Chains A and B, each alone.
Chain A
Amino acid sequence: MRIDIVLAGVGGQGVLSVAAVLAEAARREGFCVQQTELHGMSQRGGAVQAFLRIADAPVHSDFVSHGTADLVLALEPLEALRQVAYLKPGGLLLTAADPVENIPDHPGREQVLAWIATLPRTAVVEAAELAREAGAPRALNTVMVGAASGVLPLRVEILRACLCEAFAAKGERVVQQNLAAFEAGRRAAACAPA
């Protein structure tokens, strides 16, 4: 068993937090985990990409190769499109619907979602709206952890435990907000076509 994931988003959205929670949950499930991240210049409001490889035997490269990703998990739809070449045939592109328009030539929500609709296997989650409804407007990234949980071999209770520990330092209220965001993401993914 091997699951290769490409994570993408915009610096500041919490892409690395998503990677860290999924990696820790996979480790607790007994899988071998390789995870890349980039710090420094790349993280200041620019495009962020991380690789996460989960397998039942050690994997070699930290990189996901083109044409091999089981999942592109994106917190922003334009950044999702940037990762398409990593998908294997039949791989899933799972993205938040909400654009981060911090560049002058962002094509805008309608155009980007129309482009995504031309791809073979995609699921788009209204993550910002779900995060607001869950009372956790800053937890868009946790909504997407919930959305991804349905397609990953990670038990929900282990993911919940990892989220609790990841946010424990920020107090019980933030923990509960993120758990609510996680559940909202799970429910949304259960309804989304994929």
Chain B
Amino acid sequence: MSVATLLGAPVAERVLLGDEALAQGALDAGISAAFAYPGTPSTEIMESLLAPGREGRRPKGGWCANEKTAYEAALGVSMAGRRALVAMKHVGLNVAADAFVNSAVVHVHGGLVVAVADDPGMHSSQNEQDTRVLAEFAHAICLEPSDQQETYAMTREAFELSERFGLPVVVRLVTRLAHSRSAVTLSAPRAENPTQKDPAGARSWVLLPGNARRLWKERLAQHDELVRWADASGLDTLELADHPGGLGVITAGIGKQHFLEVVDELPIRPSHLHVATYPLPVALLRKLATYCPRLLVIEEGSPFVERRLQHLLPMRRSVDGRDTGRIPPDGELSPDVVRAALGLPAREHPAFATPLPGRPPQLCQGCPHRDTYAALRLALADRGEGVVAGDIGCYTLGALPPFAALESCVCMGASIGMARGAAAAGLRPAVACIGDSTFLHSGVPALMDAVAEDADMTVLVLDNEAVGMTGGQVPALPDSRLLPIVLGVGVDPAHAHVIAAHPSRVDAMADVIRRELDHRGLSVIVAVRQCLPAQKKQRGQDVPE
């Protein structure tokens, strides 16, 4: 494996999730701090850093209010000369995008690595956006490991690159790497950097136009140097077939593993370039294209490499992939998908043709959200055409039967703004359903907007005192602080309530909701009871997956 050259002598072997391998790589690279907001499939990166047993080497930081505050904290660590990791899921990078894109204009000082886990196939996400696109947009370096060992090694390398080129470096994971387990050989840990501010000071860090224009020119001028680095990095590997002509396969990320799984069944082994670096290794790509008249790109996510090839290579080359439909444009890769793309026949297998009923996820038995949705349904009965805007979390499952209580789920914090807009458009009653952690993540600014115009709407905060969907992390602030926040931004105390969410209290909950739906103006109801799995987790009891 090419990444072996990145590592010193092996010191230990562990069986690790991709997320855990990334966390271990960051620890062994000498991070002083790590920051994250939970989000599947990235959550176990921070969980691993916070796990019992790490006490001696636990970096500062921890869970944050949202991805943007996490990113900015990491940037501050870098400004002070130390190394920092910030971790999030792919859509979290949208939240942190302002910090991320502009941090690639400053000249970062201590190594800054951005771990982003994409979710092709949308196992637990609302889209399957490809982080490589945002990394390129920001002119950052992106590394894409293809297994757990590479995840460990490339995370360590990412910190070196960040300091060498003065750039944030993205390590892109995908669900099946983040949440798959395999053996990883660890190497000797590196010491932390000392605290030492960037000698370049304000010239590198104050993005007033004068500095920003100069730094941006430097960044653009750096591109060719990065491409030369990529071509020579050893992270991208080219194996040409014995004879020119024939098929050339380009793999990226775990596409390589699916390709290697089936390649031996091909009558002639194709030439193969594996890319792990962005910017792309242009010389290696051109070399392969000169050798092979036909190219197939196997990459997880968008047709990122495929589209760059159309720009980099003469048009006479035939390039196949997700863009041309040789590989489906959406969904996860698998060995079966790659088999079909390579023209191999499907394998024989036993058949069971009867359609089976699906089994979608559902709220836990005894979940407090069940009581809140039951009360909301009672309160909304016989009302006119209103709207219930939903948000992101376990409680999004309230959109499914038997509750069918939510009409939207778009992005973190959207419920409050969308309900306000729907109220402005004339829908009544307008209700926003938002969890406690989502409210703290990005609901509060929207609530301030609603206060400013006393929007005719009701915000229902489903407060289970946990980030439930991702495993019961403790939110940024305890639930006892939610009402002071609500009142602090100016919600009328006569229309701000905290109620208990409990099966025996559903009628009483419905009464409170009904009263506030009748109120012509803004109201906030916080329905409180702790998430059951989170409660068990806190007590150290077993929580089945």
Contact = CB atoms under 8 A, between A and B. Distances in A.
A102 B357 contact: no
B182 A34 contact: yes
B351 interface: yes
A66 B362 CA distance: 28
A12 B44 contact: no
Nearest to B541: A170
B383 interface: no
B261 A33 contact: no
Given A33-B183, A62-B180, A43 B545 contact: yes
Interface string B145-187: 0000000000000000000000000000001110111110000
B359 interface: yes
B238 to A, nearest CB: 18
Q: Which of A10, A37, A82, A170 has the most CB of B within 10 A?
A: A37
A118 B350 CA distance: 11
A32 interface: yes
A115 to B, nearest CB: 6
A37 B179 contact: yes
Contact of B334 (A35, A42, A63, A67): A63
A39 to B, nearest CB: 5
Interface string A91-112: 1000000000011111100000
Given A66-B336, A115-B352, A33 B260 contact: no
A60 B338 CA distance: 13
Contacts of A119: 350, 352
Interface stretch (B27-35, B341-349, B420-428, B450-458): B341-349
Contacts of B43: 39-40
A88 B123 CA distance: 26
B361 interface: yes
B349 A85 contact: yes
Contact of A87 (B183, B350, B362): B350
Interface string A9-52: 01111111100000110010000111111111111111110000
Given A37-B180, A60-B257, A62-B180, A17 B545 contact: yes
B148 to A, nearest CB: 9
Nearest to B182: A34
B180 A88 contact: no
A44 to B, nearest CB: 4
Contacts of B401: 104
A106 B358 CA distance: 9
Contacts of B469: 40-41, 44
B258 interface: yes
Nearest to A90: B350
A65 B339 contact: yes
A79 B40 contact: no
A27 B15 contact: yes
Contact of B181 (A33, A91, A169): A33
Contacts of B352: 81, 84-85, 115, 118-119
Contacts of B362: 44-46, 102
Contacts of B179: 36-39
B233 to A, nearest CB: 22
A46 B347 contact: no
B386 interface: no
B499 to A, nearest CB: 24
B176 A63 contact: yes
- Chain A contact patch, size range: 35 or more
Contacts of B257: 60-62
B349 A41 contact: no
Contacts of B44: 39
A89 B348 contact: yes
B545 A61 contact: no
B124 interface: yes
Nearest to B122: A41
A176 interface: no
A39 B40 contact: yes
Nearest to A43: B545
A41 B180 contact: no
A88 B349 contact: yes
A141 B352 CA distance: 25
B124 A41 contact: yes
Contacts of B360: 46, 103
B183 A32 contact: yes
Nearest to B359: A47
A40 B349 contact: no
Contacts of A41: 40, 123-124, 361, 469
A190 B254 CA distance: 39
A144 interface: no
Contacts of B261: 59-61, 63, 65
B544 interface: yes
Contacts of A169: 540
Nearest to B339: A65
A78 interface: yes
A40 B176 contact: no
B336 A79 contact: no
Given A40-B469, A44-B397, A61-B258, A105 B357 contact: yes
B364 interface: yes
Contacts of B349: 66-67, 84-89
11 contacts: A10-B359, A11-B361, A24-B15, A27-B15, A39-B471, A40-B43, A40-B469, A41-B469, A65-B334, A66-B347, A104-B401
Given A39-B43, A40-B469, 11 more contacts: A11-B545, A17-B545, A33-B183, A37-B180, A43-B361, A44-B363, A61-B260, A68-B347, A79-B359, A84-B350, A118-B352
CB-based closest 10 A-B pairs? A40-B40, A67-B347, A40-B124, A67-B349, A46-B361, A41-B124, A44-B361, A60-B260, A61-B261, A16-B545
